[in-house]
Structure 1
Amino acid sequence: MPLRDLQLHWQIMIAIIGAILVGLAIDESTTLIGVRLLDVFSFIGTLFLNGLKMIIVPLVLSSIICGVASIGGSKDLGRLGGKTLGFYMLSSFLAIMIGLLFVNAFAPGVIDGQPAGDRLNLSSDSAVTAQLERVEGRGVSDITAVFLRMVPANIVQAAADGQMLGLICFGLLFGFFMTRISKGPSKTLMDFWQGVFETMMEITLFIMKFAPIGVFGLVAKTVTVTGFDAFKPLLIFFFTVFLALLTHAVITMAILLKTMGGINPLRHYRAMAPALLTAFSTASSSGTLPVTMECVEKNAKVSNKTSSFVLPLGATINMDGTALYECVAAMFIAQAYGLDLTLTTQFTIVLVALLTSVGVAGIPAASLVAITVILGVIGLPLEGIGMLLVTDRILDMMRTAVNVFSDSCCAVIIARNEGEDQVLA
């Protein structure tokens, strides 16, 4: 079977293995036809990351506007919608806080008391150092600046400067009020932004076709310079995310099921087992939606009226596992650079992770785009993202299962609150 016919994650896995072998076989001075291979790897990796950066503004803005407009224009955005959105925001916030707790406790970006930046081959030139000093210098008094950035004086300038927090808030407002104007202009705007969104999705898919090549360049460059030193922090990062996801799914969601819905968590775990296995194997919340709905309606006995509203909405905007992962990944990269992040910066990470988990969760390569947004907002270099791809596939499967389970928990809790006594009875 030709490589191009393999699924993308297998192509990326082969690229990672190939990059490790090549990186171990050569050194920093190895050349081919007079060109240093390390420079070639650096060029390939940088080109891929630039492609990701290029799509951020139009992709994030169009996805948020379309998502909010579709919710805001729904006749069900009353009592049921309010309860659903409230639960999703609560569960995502709790997931992010658990991620923050674990990443501070395990500190995967610090190895033997030293930042892992050298092991991961992260830049330490003067421009990056100055950028990091600006991040580290922020204090509690700067929290007001976070809220000021949510309302930029010039939205075009904010987009040009990569001030994504303001762009996200503008998208939320634009999408909501787009549904409050007369029907003709509202439909025209909706068609326009839907067209932009679908176009950006196609461009994203096109760029992601080159992900194996970009990953090869990023990993080969790191292994060439550091050998296997890079894999120890990545292994600790992997288990930090895994334990945080497990804690959220087994403890946090169980507490919410019991306290908010009066539901036996073990019965719900059993009811959702087929959907969780499907989510884990496909790593797609949207692709798992039919199985999720079947489990919620047939096994948990939730009415179709509730499940048909709550679950599709959750598959679009509720991404507990993704939000948790974004937070841990951003903190991991900050630790690797040796930053002791202030309360202000950690608050910013929590806030932006919450907003991006709602705004960009349903798009391809959502985690990469969301982490890029977070790093840009808090002022960290983006080069650390490449290393996350080494463990991304298996973690993607795990966080998708958590996303789907959270959706199902919301469905049964809302159903109980709506008076459906037959749920998991």
Structure 2
Amino acid sequence: MSVSAPAPASPRRIPKVPFWAQIVAGLVLGVVLGWITRSYDVQWLYTTLDKVGHIFVQLLKLAVAPLVFFAILVSITNLRKVNNAARLASRTLLWFMITSLIAVVIGLVLGLLTNPGAGTGLTPKDGKKPENAGSWLDFLTGIIPTDVITPFTELNVLQIVFMAAVAGIAALKLGERAQPILTFAESVLELLQKALWWVIRLAPIGTVGLIGYAIAEYGWHLIGKYATFTADVYIGCALVIFGVYPLLLATVAKVNPLQFFKGAWPAIQLAFVSRSSVGTMPVTVKVTERLGVPKEYTSFAVPFGATTKMDGCAAIYPALAAIFIAQIFDVQLGVKEYLLIALVSVIGSAATAGLTGATVMLTLTLSTLGLPLEGVGLLMAIDPVLDMMRTATNVAGQALVPVIVAAREKILDLDAYNSASASPVDGYDTREASPAQATAPAKATATA
């Protein structure tokens, strides 16, 4: 009698760690290593954290210029696949402005209630003028480049957006004759997004370096001087993300706000770490499409928002910063100044251009109000800590507005929205959400 051999045991598979858990682990490890570095003056660890964080940010920035150009170009040409494209574009811009206005009002109210510049111990001599300052004249004249190379070498995103918009509109006018160029642009965009996706997968490692270096360099005592201001920025951003946005989703879009955060959370958490709206853009595109917004519309709204929609950097932050700096320099602000802050925030948000930091927007606000630009120097040391929450707010808004507009125009896929995955980053191919792939047979139609 033959005895059959036992079946070989299947090898145990190592469980896959969710991306969000990797990010959280990176945050915790970064805090611990930063504390060790500062407490025991471990110079080699300080240098390592600095290099790791710097390399991660540089890798993100490396793709910014071509990514912005081709994303804007392709997104504009993709509007030809959308019925009532002009209506969708105008509604998107309108909701960008509405949410920015709400955000800046929250920033002003918090600043007036808490007086963030009072009792800090900081004086005007602690500040210094920034090397590059922004003004309305610089903003308006700086949109048009002097040549086609410099904006890419100097990473002037605003000028890159301008050139991409002109190229996109020209391609629409040329029609079929521009198809070879559009095919090339779509292929390049896919390539860039694929490469940037590899960089995004390194975010947990980059988190260790960025957070660790921030703590090692600045420590907790620095935050103490800016405690009220830091708390105001975080509270203001939290009120917008978890207060205003859910309210708009529930009352305007009439959808479940919790489902929005379930779907959009991967992009929000990556924005918190990377401090770059443009660097997060591929993930924002993914989660917005997974929330049921049509690909044709998403491929326009998200790249457009990644360079212009900045509720954190261009609304809450400059409002609070203007009040903070005015109190340090003992300058009285009146109703006219507060209205100017709101105007600058709503109109000038494109000056932030989706990059890390909001110095250009801050100098634009201060110069409009006539406040000393030395005040910018007061905030530079604490800026990395603030920028994480600001960018998370920016990206949340960039995913929110397409959902609101799509819901209002009856083109939101409610089944997709209600079933959006909580962790779409894991096992999700970049090509699924590429703006270049926005070629679904059904065309998005905006209805009155």
What is the TM-score normalised by the length of structure 2? 0.62
- Contact kept, 8 Å, 2:77 with 2:171, in 1: the verdict is yes
How far does residue 175 in structure 1 lie from its aligned partner after superposition?
0.9
Q: Is the 8 A contact 1:11 1:212 kept in 2?
A: yes
**Which of 1 and 2 has greater Rg?**
2
- Other-structure match for 2:140: 147
Distance 2:315 2:447 in 1: 35
Matched-pair contact (CA < 8 Å) for 2:313–2:391: no
Structure 2 contact 264–287 (Cα < 8 Å) conserved = no
| Residue equivalent to 2:198 | 206
Matches within 5 A, 1:98-247: 98-107=102-111, 110=116, 113-114=119-120, 129-131=128-130, 134-135=132-133, 142-181=135-174, 183-184=176-177, 186-229=178-221, 230=223, 232=227, 234-245=230-241
Q: 2:69, 2:164 within 8 Å by CA — same for their partners in 1?
A: yes
Letter of the 1:37 counterpart: L
- Residue by residue over 1:181-207, the C-alpha shift from the partner in whole angstroms, topping out at 9 and shown as x without a partner, is 2524x1111122112211221222222
Percent identity, aligned pairs only, is: 12
Give the AA of the match of 1:387.
V
- Distance in 2 (alpha carbons) for counterparts of 1:4 and 1:43: 30
Tell me, yes or no, if the aligned pair for 2:104 and 2:316 is still in contact at 8 Å.
no
TM-score (norm 1): 0.65
- Note closer, same or farther for the CA distance 1:242–1:65 as it changes in structure 2 (3 Å cut): same
Alignment of 1:396-415 (within 5 A): 399=397, 402-403=400-401, 405-412=403-410
Whether 2:73 is the aligned partner of 1:61: answer no
Residue 7 of structure 2 is aligned to residue 9 of structure 1: no
- Report the alpha carbon displacement of residue 310 of structure 1 after superposing the two structures with TM: 6.1
Structure 1 segment 25-104 matched on structure 2, within 5 A: 25-27=36-38, 30-31=41-42, 35-71=43-79, 73-74=80-81, 76-77=82-83, 80-104=84-108
Aligned to 1:423: none
* Pairing 1:242-281 to 2, within 5 Å after superposition: 242-245=238-241, 248-249=244-245, 265=251, 269=254, 271-272=255-256, 275-276=259-260, 278-280=262-264
- Contact in 2 for aligned 1:106/1:240 (Cα 8 Å): yes
Indicate conservation of the 8 Å contact 1:52/1:207, yes or no: yes
Report the 3-state secondary structure (helix = DSSP H, G, I; strand = E; otherwise coil) of the residue aligned with 2:174.
coil
Tell me, which stretches of 5 or more residues in structure 1 are unaligned? Answer: 117-123, 255-264, 294-306, 357-368, 420-425
Contact preservation (8 Å) 1:285, 1:315: yes
Query: Could you tell me which of 21, 38, 44 is aligned with 2:32?
Result: 21
Compare 144-153 and 220-229 and name the one that shifted more: 220-229
Contact 1:64-1:175 within 8 A present in 2 as well = yes
Q: Which runs of 5+ in 2 are unaligned?
A: 1-11, 268-283, 364-375, 413-443
- Aligned equivalents of 1:115 and 1:41: distance in 2? 30
C-alpha displacement of 1:37: 2.4
Alpha-carbon separation, structure 2, partners of 1:335 and 1:4: 49
Q: Which residue identity is paired with 1:102?
A: I
